Amino acid sequence: MSSSKSVLKLALVQMAVSANKSENLSRAVRMIGEAAQAGAKIVTLPECFNCPYGTQFFREYAENIPGNSSQTLAAAAKEHKIFVVGGSIPEESDGKVYNTCTVFDPTGTCIAKHRKIHLFDIDVPGGITFKESDVLSPGSDLTTFTAENVKVGVGICYDMRFAELAQLYCKRGCHLLLYPGAFNMTTGPAHWELLQRARALDNELYVATASPARDEGAGYVAWGHSTAVNPWGEPIGKAGAGEEIVYADIDINAVEKMRTQIPVMHQKRPDLYEVKDVSEK
Ligand SMILES: NC(=O)CC(=O)C(=O)O
């Protein structure tokens, strides 16, 4: 790995998730430690890392933030002096349940919280039917944070399908988009990598995903294949289906280089079309 200050090592933890919440938390803490030992400065967990992915589970596993799961991640971030992007957990707040990602800095402070904006409501006959909105409420905020000199935009899984969200993160100066996610055996092979490469190339930045490991016995079978893609649109790290940690170097110089060489950012035609940032405060 380059010793340049512009390079940050990212780890994508593709962990097995069971019905046992405390086992999931212990596993997450152990794998965060392993990634930190390997030199990672940002460690990302999967969507629903403490709970099986399914509408029948979200209410039962839901917690307040701060709560046991988020405090466990805060302690891990502080112990290893790294950024932890806490995949997601079902969050309970004011009687509603959200699919929420918390982000901790190397002091263990929660510096960002992203509630999944676009709920996964789909019906593919012969493939998959899922309706998160039966139980979950959507978030309404874009979420960014800065890790050393890398600006990161956060989305959760289905959020990745919305090109406009990624464009707004790009407009806000992000170098990396992180999407904890759990695609499935229908949409995973078809769309998972394609979407990451599309978001990366359109916006000339890094895109990375962290999925749960595949469990063929689960009600919802995750595709796995946690991936990192560079600004050129090339996968630079990719898991298989099982439990593993994927590493990728995030180099903001590579983002700048791509944007200089192919300067689409400056060649847009706002006189003809524009993605407006209506939510910036
Ligand atoms: N699980 C999701 O939120 C999204 C997904 O699986 C898909 O878009 O496909």
pLDDT tens, residue by residue, 70-98: 999 999 999 999 999 999 999 999 999 99
Active-site residue flag, 257: no
The fold of the 8-264 domain, in CATH, is: Nitrilase/N-carbamoyl-D-aminoacid amidohydrolase (3.60.110)
Pocket test for ligand 1, best of 49, 57, 122 (most atoms within 8 A of CB): 122
List the catalytic residue out of 110, 157, 170, 174: 157
Can you name the residues that pair with 101 across neighbouring β-strands? Answer: 114
Other beta carbons within 10 angstroms of residue 144's beta carbon come to: 17
CA-to-CA dists, residue 15 to 11, 25, 229, 266, angstroms = 12, 11, 20, 40
What is the distance, to the nearest Å, from the Cα of residue 32 to the centroid of all Cα atoms in its chain? 15
- Does the annotation count 47 as an active-site position? yes
Distance from residue 182's CA to the centre of ligand 1 (Å): 6
pTM strictly above 0.95: yes
Please tell me the predicted confidence (pLDDT) of residue 6: 78
Q: How far is the CA of 276 from the centre of ligand 1 (A)?
A: 25
**Is residue 203 within 6 Å of ligand 1 at its C-beta?**
no
Rg for the chain (alpha carbons), in Å?
18
Write down the pLDDT at residue 1: 41
- Rounded to 10 degrees, what is the CA torsion of 232, 270, 146, 50? -80
* 116 noted as active-site residue: yes
Residues of the chain under the 70 pLDDT cut? 1-5, 280-281
**pLDDT (tens digit per residue) in 102-133:** 999 999 999 999 999 999 999 999 999 999 99
Q: What span, in angstroms and rounded, lies between the C-alpha atoms of 127 and 125? A: 5
Q: Is the CB of residue 184 below 6 angstroms from any atom belonging to ligand 1?
A: yes
Burial 206-216 (b: 16+ CB within 10 A, else e): bbbbbbbbbbe
- Asked if this assembly's ipTM is beyond 0.85, the reply is yes
Q: What is the mean pLDDT of the chain?
A: 96
Residue 76 tokens, joined:
């891990």
Alpha helices, DSSP H only, in the chain? 21-37, 55-61, 68-80, 163-171, 187, 193-203, 252-261
Indicate whether residue 192 lines ligand 1 (CB < 6 A): no
